[in-house]
Amino acid sequence: MLVSARRINTLTRTFFFLLYFHSAAHAQRRVLSFDQDWKFLKGDPAGAEQPAFSDSAWRSLDLPHDWSIEGGYARTNPTGRGGGYVEAGVGWYRKRFMLPEDDGQRRLFIEFDGIMMNSDVWINGWHLGHRPYGYSSFQYELTGHLHFGPHALNIISVRADNSIQPYSRWYTGSGIYRHTRLVKTAPVHVDHWGTFLSTPEVSAARAKWMMHVSVMNQSDANSNLIMETRIFSPAGTLLQTLSTPCSVAAGATAEVTQQGVVDHPSLWGCDKSPLYLAKITLRVGKQAIDEYNTAFGIRQIRFEAATGFWLNGENIKIKGVCLHHDGGAVGAAVPLRIWERRLELLKQAGVNAIRTAHNPPAPEFLDLCDRMGFLVMEETFDTWNARKSSAENGYNLYFSSCWEKDTRDMVLRDRNHPSIILYSVGNEIHDNLNDSSGFRKYKMQQDLIHSLDGTRGVTMALFRPALSHVYENGLADLMDVVGQNYRENELVAAHESKPARKVIGTENQHGLTAWLALRDNPFMAGQFLWTGFDYLGEADWPSLVNGQGLFDRTGTERNVGYQRQSWWSGQPMVYAMRKEQNAGEGAWVSDWTPADMDTYDDARVQVFSNCDEVELFLNDRSHGVRPRPADNASPRSWQLTFEKGTLRVVGRNNGRVVATREWKTAGPPARIELKADRDRIAADWNDICIIRATVVDANGVPCPTADDQLTFTVTGAGRLAGVDNGDLASSESFLGSKRFAWKGTCIALVRATTPGGGISIKATADKLEPATLTIAVK
């Protein structure tokens, strides 16, 4: 095999680094990022799985990577309205790597957090396997197919095929869009996803934990070993050490169970979310042969038919949103900071729960929910056997052959997350649920999950149950918790007809009726709004984005977001809107800059607030105080004569000002303002800085109708990773340097490329004063 001198030098440096690392920690498990230095081609060349195949002309890149977001949009693209009108097809990835000689005594595995979709993987020409479902995480063993030593190359090849369309009712992305890892273990080791830690008894005084560990022996000899577990507090203090002898026959797997007690535990919850650590070490004599860490939270959950959801003995409402897996401009390959920022904004709006619609998320997303205190309903599939419109070639083609493995892999991967409180096995399933086949399909999935994780319930998002008759035929009574999409009155009636039913809204609209159904019925455990953020796809041309989010895809909160905040948040807030046109015509907008000020004189204003009283001022003149409405939920209204100037809203509790906000009339656009979500970022793929550009007048007042095209330039220790705005119909490239302002604003995403130094971001536009911003790199 011919390899360039530069490639050989890079591989040799990698080889000696790995050799040093292994000599320093010979016995320990090694988990190495496998994201760097891949080759990629969008196409389907014959023989690309063979080691001798030449990929010298292919593009070099790092993972995660979504090639769909890089292409253009066309109404004729086969992904259609569901997939966001992007291109479909086949993509290939190849990576060269070398391994130290002593790795020949180890077991080696490759882990993929997700490949979209119909993936095939080869190592040195050997086919490892095929996985249709793009949302499943999986592992292949490489042992027996590898070459070792400083001059021996290994080549892993991956083919991802999403050419069979239409596949999905929302944007999926394409390629190896999640992280990859190379794992090296001793022949005797903790199995993949081999721990299950639960907290069956929890109180403020003490908590009991129990852990089941699968230990695999892939050697030719029986093994007698000790499993040592150390429990560390959230602050890193060693709390407890347990040692348990274990015998594992050659070629077998043994389960080891340990349990212990934590006194005065720090309980995991929505307000505080401390995480403990179980550090497992397998020892033969005094030698450590494997180490495996499992983070966990100490918490107690339960659903009650009469009172809904309980967390650590507190009866709380699940105030959730549904989220699809794309991150806007970055497509499906989403840096963790994008999710972190989105969850920060949702928490400010009063949201405490996420439904992963309609698939397992990336594992780091659940880590983030653990750390930030979000409750999660994790979902498996959007379809069973029956197909859906705009996704006729979706998971329905694979359900019969793949449901068991995909469900098993999700539960085994995720059952240690304290954030997960409920599993859902389907969304608006179109299979016949009024016959024995429908009962069987639901029951087999629920039974499998119960066998893998008996600590959480199972539901599904029912679709028009009055037509499927699931409330009369008994299927709903098989469910641990009855979930229904929309039609809240039907779910209320279903509980009232059988008060033993535990119920939850699995998908709900933003309006007042949906909120009152949750607020005013103690038995309603919660609801999940459709949606938290706008998402790519499920839109009719020329729109490319579904715009039902509390937030648009750039993080701008919509009116419905502030409405929910007034109902869900415990923080005092006020938010004003006016009718866009004169005398109450048009849509509600949140500005004080009418398009035609000569004809706009009759202003109708509404305010969302959770304060006892709200007072409205125009140019410092009061237009009256409004108390809480009778239903404690409706907006408060004013009618006044428009004047240029400042509209100010003041909220008071017990006569004290607790919230205030103002809107000013904008003049002509004059300049650009830049604001970063943080002033310092890390040189890490998962970190990104979100720069918001706003077009303002000479006094710094935002211009809500500005639509100037902005150009972003990045210099220094970073690069531009994407641009975006909130326009549902924009077909501009996310990967260019230009973006039109939408309602006066757009964003740029900036990534650090080298540690240390600074990154300078400049935004320019014709006839506007430019702006420059500098952020530091850690």
Residue 656 Cα distances to 458, 593, 651, 659, angstroms: 46, 30, 8, 9
585 catalytic per annotation: no
> How many whole angstroms separate alpha carbon 156 and alpha carbon 567?
52
Is the distance from CB of 68 to CB of 87 less than 8 angstroms? yes
C-alpha dist (Å) from residue 449 to 138, 378, 446, 459, 582: 18, 12, 5, 11, 57
DSSP labels, 540-559: -TT--EE--SSB-TTSPBPH
The tokens for 24 are 């320093």
- To the query of whether residue 428 is one of the catalytic residues in this protein, the response is yes
- Two tokens at 346? 């949702």
Count Cα neighbours of 660 within 13 Å in the Cβ-side half-sphere: 7
Side-chain half-sphere of 117: how many Cα atoms within 13 Å?
A: 24
Q: What is the sign of the dihedral through the CA atoms of 340, 346, 348 and 353?
A: negative
Q: Which of 378, 428, 557, 615 is catalytic?
A: 428
Helix (H) or strand (E) holding 231, with range, is strand 223-232
- Report the alpha-carbon distance of residue 594 to residue 754 in Å, rounded: 46
Q: Containing H/E element for 241?
A: strand 238-248
Give SS3 for 528: strand
CA 420 to CA 422: how far, in whole Å? 6
The letter for the amino acid at 255 is: E
Cα gap 318→487, rounded to integer Å: 18
Taken as a whole, the chain contains a residue count of 778
CA distances to 675, 689, 723 from 773, rounded to whole Å, are 8, 12, 16
- Please identify which of the residues 49, 291, 507, 557 carries the catalytic annotation: 507
In our burial notation (b when 16+ CB lie closer than 10 A, e otherwise), range 461-500 reads: bbbebeebebbeeebbeebbbbbbbbbbeebbebbeeeee
Within 8 A by CB and 6+ apart from 145, the residues are 123, 124, 126
Side-chain-side CA neighbours of 285 within 13 Å: the count stands at: 2
- CB–CB of 91/130 below 8 Å? no
What strands, in cross-sheet order, belong to the sheet with 574-579?
Answer: 588-589, 574-579, 602-609, 636-641
Task: List the catalytic residues.
Answer: 428, 507
